[in-house]
Chain A
Amino acid sequence: MLGFAARRLAFAVASVAAVVVITFLLVHAAPGEPMLGTADRTFASPDVIARQRALFGLDRPLPVQFIRYAGNLVRGELGTSFVLHRPVSSILAEALPHTLLLGGTALVASLLLGLAVGALQAARHRSRTDTLLGAATLVFYSVPVFWLGLMLLLVFGEQLHWLPVSGMRSAALEDGSALARALDVARHLVLPAASLALVQAAAFARFQRSALVESLAGEHIRAARAKGLPERTVLLKHALRGALAPTITLAGLSVPYFLAGSVLVESIFGWPGLGRVAYDAIFARDYNVITAVALVSGVLVAASNLLADVAVALADPRVRLER
């Protein structure tokens, strides 16, 4: 068990390191320049830009830049944003919780919805319900998340005015009660979270359905029925638990999806999270921010895979006790 954990941890560290090295090399070796102090001021003189390059050490050879960066990283310093003039760590510290709120909500919602739909389909295997839900999940599974976001925005934001079209909270509510503010954030959360969740819920449902169908075809399910257990117990206690472990693994593996989705969806809905930071940084060539976002994503992905392993072990005694 310990050996396994150590090995697993070593992989996580190695993959995060690989992410940092690859990203660093990619962005620095690329053609083009970061937007240094120019942005909306189109009259920045070349002198100003040259001095800016020197201030950020971009005039040094790439290996020197890398060693400096790595050195800073080991000391826990992520550098300064070229564009925002801020420590990258404080940018991430501000954006990350917002993305965790959005991604976390979407993950939980998609798991609940996906498991429910998948279970319903499996319980009514080969029925009309199964077919209809199967068609629906197939379509949502095939929808590009950014397009779904745009369509939800168009219908529920612009046409029906049910929900706010952008941002994380209403400007006027700064003095409202805590509950009113929380509700306000929740309203803003619905559309972006739904965009992310519906697609992933379809993936979970498809997976859960086939896992459950396979599990339901198992002899122990027949045995459970033969014992005279009610169908609900058979489904929820016997079939679902067996099918849960692969779904948990899938949930862990879905974290990169939510990260990538946040890059697409946060911009659409003006959600001030990591995805927006990444999006802006990529287009401004804000090297330090890009690399740091990749680092954070790497850590999140590695951590979620680790977590999924632990959760699987908890759900399945065979895994838990073998190690």
Chain B
Amino acid sequence: MSAPAPARAPLLEVRDLAVNFMGFDGVARAVDGVDLVVGEGETVGLVGESGCGKSVTALAVLRLIEPPGHIAHGSSVRLEGRDLLALGGKEIRAVRGNHVALVFQEPLSALNPVLKVGDQIAETIRAHEAVTRSTAHWRAVEMLAAVGIPDAERRAAAYPHQLSGGTRQRVLLAMALACRPKLLLADEPTTALDVTIQAEILELLDDLQKKLGMAVLLITHNLGIVAERTRRVYVMYAGQIVEEATTERLFARPAHPYTEGLLAAIPRLDVRRERLQAIPGQVPPATAWPPGCRFHPRCPYAWDKCRSEMPPLLPVGEGQRARCWLVNEPQRKGMK
């Protein structure tokens, strides 16, 4: 197998991750056998439509899946070689927010509305480091300043609803970075913001990453963001990784029809098109994945084999793999 080698030694190594949710309609296999690697200091993208399981994957890394969901037996999540799934409650808490931090997509709901933002940052610090209350507070203010919030001292005493959307997202970032984590899981960090502020936040994220030397798993549905800021990308569909590749290669030669569809949906300045081409159909419910290739009902190239047999991740070359039978029979692409 010619899996794409990460640039450095793997920081995060996810193998065969599966997350199931028990429901009235049966078991929802929200994440179904995901392999994923993030190297130290590396920025990796995880892309897919909403409902594909990318957020669940991020939560599973920190074991934040709550009943009725659970991480299936046989999954493995290793941080610097340590199996996070085998840790005790206290040990995993020592990882959360400390070695691995999470930034949520909706800053207003991710912040506690009845606590001052400064306190919310300080409590993170105090959860992991034996510092006094005032030290923690002082560091929280410092952190707020570091994420570019002016007048940080005063803003620390504010409640979330008193801040603007961009500022809240900065607060959230400050909170995530308060303990200088090695890995940041950024789940749609900018979706809730308007475009100019989006850019500001992403710039900030870049800056901080360089300063702190941390790795980032950037989870988004927006390939545009991925294109500019990541080295490698995983594409997720229906609970599975359907394609992985270096960013450059993914954009140049997408191997999976789904990736192709996603790329076609990006508005581009260099190619004039009549209209954006959206992928027809909907993501199927997680309780009833279609047999065979999960994408086949929406795939313009699907044939018999796609309907009956699920493809494995097949190597395409140069660190690229795709979960598609077309990889073996590229000629069929032209048939339709």
Q: CB within 8 Å of B: which residues of A?
A: 125-126, 218-220, 222-231, 233, 237-238, 241-242, 315-318, 321
Contacts and interface: CB of A to CB of B under 8 A. Distances in A.
A239 to B, nearest CB: 9
B123 A229 contact: yes
Contacts of B109: 218-220
A314 to B, nearest CB: 11
23 contacts: A219-B104, A219-B106, A220-B110, A220-B112, A223-B110, A223-B172, A225-B96, A226-B96, A226-B104, A227-B97, A227-B127, A228-B93, A228-B98, A228-B127, A229-B93, A229-B124, A237-B115, A242-B114, A316-B113, A317-B113, A318-B161, A321-B159, A321-B161
A9 to B, nearest CB: 26
Contact of B67 (A126, A220, A231, A321): A126
Contact of A222 (B98, B104, B162): B104
B94 interface: yes
Interface in B69-126: 89, 93-98, 101-102, 104, 106, 109-115, 123-124
Interface of B: 59, 62, 64, 67-68, 89, 93-98, 101-102, 104, 106, 109-115, 123-124, 127-128, 159, 161-162, 172, 175
Given A125-B67, A219-B106, A230 B93 contact: yes
Given A227-B123, A318-B114, 4 more contacts: A226-B96, A241-B112, A317-B161, A321-B161
A229 B109 CA distance: 17
A226 B111 CA distance: 12
Contacts of A315: 114
B37 to A, nearest CB: 21
Given A220-B109, A317-B159, A318-B161, A226 B114 contact: no
B113 A318 contact: yes
Question: Which of A222, A223, A224, A241: most chain B CB closer than 10 A?
Answer: A223
A231 B66 CA distance: 13
A218 B113 CA distance: 11
A231 B162 CA distance: 27
Which of A218, A219, A316, A318 has the most CB atoms of chain B within a 10 A radius of its CB?
A219
A242 B97 contact: no
A228 B111 contact: no
B112 A242 contact: yes
B96 A227 contact: yes
A124 B172 CA distance: 28
A112 to B, nearest CB: 21
Contacts of B110: 219-220, 222-223
Label chain A's interface by main secondary structure: helix
Nearest to B105: A219
B175 A227 contact: yes
A316 B104 contact: no
B112 A224 contact: yes
B112 A226 contact: no
B253 to A, nearest CB: 36
B173 to A, nearest CB: 12
Nearest to A222: B64
A63 to B, nearest CB: 53
B123 to A, nearest CB: 7
Nearest to B116: A317
Nearest to A219: B109
A219 B172 CA distance: 12
B324 to A, nearest CB: 34
Nearest to B95: A228
A228 B112 contact: no
B161 A233 contact: no
Nearest to A230: B93
Contacts of A222: 59, 64, 104, 110
B127 to A, nearest CB: 5
A230 B127 contact: yes
Nearest to A231: B89
A126 B64 contact: no
B114 A228 contact: no
Contacts of A125: 67
Given A227-B96, A228-B93, A317 B64 contact: no
Nearest to A227: B97
9 closest Cβ contacts across the A-B interface?
Answer: A228-B96, A227-B97, A228-B97, A219-B109, A226-B102, A223-B110, A227-B124, A317-B159, A220-B112
A222 B187 CA distance: 13
A241 B59 CA distance: 24
Contacts of A126: 67-68
Contacts of B128: 228
A242 B113 contact: yes
Contacts of A321: 159, 161-162
A226 B176 CA distance: 9
A218 B114 CA distance: 13
A316 B159 CA distance: 10
Nearest to A317: B159
A39 to B, nearest CB: 57
B97 A226 contact: yes
B123 A233 contact: yes
Contacts of B98: 228
